[in-house]
Amino acid sequence: MTSFFSNKRVVVTGGAGFLGSVVVAQLRQQGCRNIWVPRSQDYDLVQMEAVQRLYDDAAPDIVVHLAARVGGIGANQANAGRFCYDNLMMGTQLMEVGRQRGLEKFVALATICAYPKYTPVPFREEDLWAGYPEETNAPYGLAKKMMLVQAQAYRQQYGFNAIVLFPVNLYGPGDNFDMQTSHVIPALIRKCVEAKAQGAERVVLWGDGSPSREFLYVDDAARAILLAAEHYNGDEPVNIGTGEEITIKNLAHLIADEVGFKGKLLWDTSKPNGQPRRCLSIDQAKKCFGFQATHSLKAGIEKTVAWFHEHRLHIREVHF
């Protein structure tokens, strides 16, 4: 608990969403009373006019840019053009207007999808440009990675203080559980819960289960973002994660056990696996702003499953 945010005016784009709502809650816990959460119906951040109006209305000291158009493999494939354009325009325009207005600090959240498809594990920040991203999410990943290019260019030319963080897959209470657009953990939880409720004997999952992934509990991610906002002012990208990976097959069994689903898990190998492995080097986050995750995957999944059971009848559907 510090007083850093107590007198700051902070805009959190995506602040009503899954990660953003936790960031906003943690900001309030740290004494921030001037938090501005732009809603998409009021500020379409893909449009420059809306971005300028947001800066006029909020007059922020800090912008934490979390808003994104994103989904799982299927959503990324179906919306490649939209995800590329919308994410590119939001990041570019928010940073440009911030630069024009003399913004104190811009904190951007990129994505692990920006890393090359065959990055050596663990992913190190210096490997970000060592190849092309995995094809199913490259348009989204590259659009987000352009914020790093822009931030470094603006720091060099204008002295603009923008930092860019690269988180692994997030999960936790309040996640998107829509079957068409969700990421792997909420999708697996929903499939297993519904299969158990229906007395189904099997659940069919995408791919062959062999890829590995790393997952970060949403509360830990929010804490990392605020630590970086307060303490990190460098031009290099910083990974945010746990440094631990698990195969999708083992993850599916972990979730099925937590849910209590006793049926078979079958794999549809006609569906894409996505990137073969994802696991981050997390040394820089600890070194630069003292971040270390505190939630184990098992504990985080227990909390997420419990939340889903409690809110299952009111789950929001997310379509593009």
- Please list the active-site residues: 140
DSSP 236: S
Give the C-alpha separation, 56 to 124, whole Å: 38
Q: Cα separation of 28 and 22, whole Å?
A: 10
* Strand arrangement, sheet containing 238-240: 34-36, 9-13, 62-65, 105-109, 162-167, 238-240
Q: Which residues pair with 54 in a beta bridge?
A: none
Q: Which two tokens stand for residue 58?
A: 């909020």
Angle at 187 between CA 173 and CA 261, to 5 degrees: 95
The neighbour count for residue 1, using CB atoms within 10 Å, is 6
How far apart, in Å, are the Cα atoms of 56 and each of 1, 27, 53, 82? 30, 22, 5, 27
- The amino acid occupying position 151 is A
